[in-house]
Structure 1
């Protein structure tokens, strides 16, 4: 049966993509691209043609300034350029026009326009200007759009994320940026181009926040939605036409294939079908996959639970399964997956799981039947936990840039340092941060105390590094003004449970600080031999302000928020067993109850 569905999927795919024939005027450019290919095979062909035809390397100054005056010329006023992120809105004193005189290019806020790197310079790996500020990728004309100076500054290097309306910070906070309803398709096609042209240096995951694609884990699904929802604009077509004509003084020679045909993204990555500009749209798939069956949750550990299920069927093919934990979306899996391990769970906590199947057109099945399992008891607190000695940082470099590496002792990849150099030492190799930060990957086990060694590099003054766990400040570590003296500092009683990310931040633009021998102890709310029959905790979920904890002997309790911070503590007895939770807002909490028999943790939900 599976072979039948694979054959059927192949036939439908071949029929759908037979329409992908470039128009006559583009056939010479795309010579060598096999448009019968799909997914990453087609992506690789497009990567070759995009690189081969990139025959002219523009300078950042004056190349991009002059090119932008032609590529982004306002179609309603040839004296102006159209501004990326621009809109006309006088509400709340947010005012930015959508067009600006061509000759007002510069750095003056409120009057000038400048050059916006849609894929931010510093988020690439290595950064776009790692080889200098002339030529690609830093001065790639497809990535640079005219922008109001203040809007450019407001965006900075923030990742793109979901939103609505005009361009600006998203509802998730000031760390994310929505390009705007009018520009989200442009942004998506530019990020896709940069990925196609520069590969692993410009992965969409570096610059966009959201769920990853089941076909290509480097792609973010929201880009496919934006590509379909916001069609190609006349400005985009004009930009492609200008750069493809090498008789133009400031033309690169290559094209953005996703402007030529947004449907190419659908063929490669699936998702919401975009407009096919090279022929008729393929038949619309409206049939949803069947509901996944026989979902089982088993093999619990302290922080993980395994899921297995029977594969769904579909008239084309299932592309992904969405996993839900306690009714909340958790992640998606590959199309062939019938097993998955959920990680980052709390010790001795009951979880309920469901899954649903999706196909390439975005059709989704009904949710599966639920499966419930409880994680095992936690390990004792304050065990030795992760450490990093920086021996695996990139090769010695005296310049300041974003550095990414795999940690020592088998710790996962994802250690990142910004505005950092790699040629310094304390006990051995050390990372050196200027006006940047050191960030760990997300790791399980919590954190009790943190120890780190710091030392000033070259000249400067004494100061402190801020220490954040999961984005919240937990203290500072000092360094002296004597660049020959190393300081080892321990921050105690951090006491945050579950998955954590540790970040050390240097806010000084002049003090260059070395960091070495970073380590911390785990912190897990533990469970010992506690007689569960001796207690009753109700109601849960909590709909009022009182929680009842029935115990046979005097016990102490502590309540932690979901980040592991203790927010309430007290004692209960057999007669005094009511706890007021009036100070708690709605959400999920962890209750730790302890007496002479040991301790136990429970998840609380306040509605």
Structure 2
């Protein structure tokens, strides 16, 4: 899940978006294993193709160590956990994600300096100790592994490797109690389970930031793979250029990477380093799957089992319900791909064994199949096919989404990312949000994030309506309403409930986001989000463009076209099996003598429009 934080409007003039990976940045990352690792090293360091430019290397806008001071003061701020934390430094060694921090630091004024105890000041921590690479550039000033941390805890961690501390063997150092005030700790490595193979002293951050540390290490050994073998011995490194990370630390880091997925903090930090500092990226934040592709020697290649018992039911003018028996997988199914007439339409984005196909045309036959997917991208074969004809009740102005936010996750006052299936069965995401506020019943509260509708949709969206109210302190402001990537209106808010309706009229409609809070520190409740939509259809041709007779038929079906338009004729039996298809562009008499007597469904399509009719063969 991705969202946008406006840190300082005067500074972020590049309008950072969700992932903000520059177009083509990873085009040359096509290999696997250590070949992929070397390709990523070339991308990070901007090494041109040797076949074109004779391997010219340019360090991306190399910065000085002290240049991190203004970067930290501007971008390493707590927009993620504290209600009013955007004026404090986010320190992974002291942050408490689930409550009040033990202490906070103001940018610049609280930078070390001298310290006597934990909570005195912050400084810059080399996640990979600078003694490993003898304080050489560009490693010494590489922002991707330099983070602001409490000065005393930084010293407590010292040059020790990261690992999994045995709580029965904690270490106190220079009068610092253990664990630290947010739970980070120093002690002997737990020599069992995924951390087996090492028993000396290690430093363990809290769970919230273990994945961050892991992805920093994967970046570092990738960018500096051609130098790492010449550095001083370090327990986390094996002295090689390819694998680079020693066992059991590779097991520890991969486990942390898997258990603590990429966070919005990491995404924003990656963007800020790229756009506002040294112009290169951590590929393992942008593409977490690279870790598995490079270091996992036994990748998952087993496809999920085929979904079975697919049933299409409960048609409306624009929707059909789909239910099936869930697939199984050796690791786990992650989602399902939905197909109509053999063409991919949308992915469910969840492991639920039901969904709703939306954006359909009235009085039309739709034949569905599905495939299961797992996290490694393996896909099953197709399920059985199930067909259904949408109704034709004349609903041309449908209130197709009416989200009440009653299904949002359990009440939480912590700002985080949330995903839920809404009141009408559609999926929503919210970022930098909390779930403990009410407006007209439960409401989602957004600070400097996004409210995003993520399910597939392809109808005409006509109007959008939503109720807002600012809570706590602050002033009036606006959010942007973004449809298909374009701003179509603004949603105002103030300290009283305000209901806004915006005319959109976009066809087809694919994505909807509410983002870009004009004052990122304001917290705004959203409730009763709805939009109306019309049925997606092209020129109506039931009477004007086509004439069909007779019906019932004995052998010949006459189709008279009033213009030379390419027309697809399909006939389905009552079980949804297609038994006849023909493409015509002039009037035709189709010989259907081979069809058995009975009831069929006739579907005729021109361009983006189609009609279905009941056809009887005597």
- TM-score if structure 2 supplies the norm length? 0.39
Say which one has the larger Rg.
Answer: 2
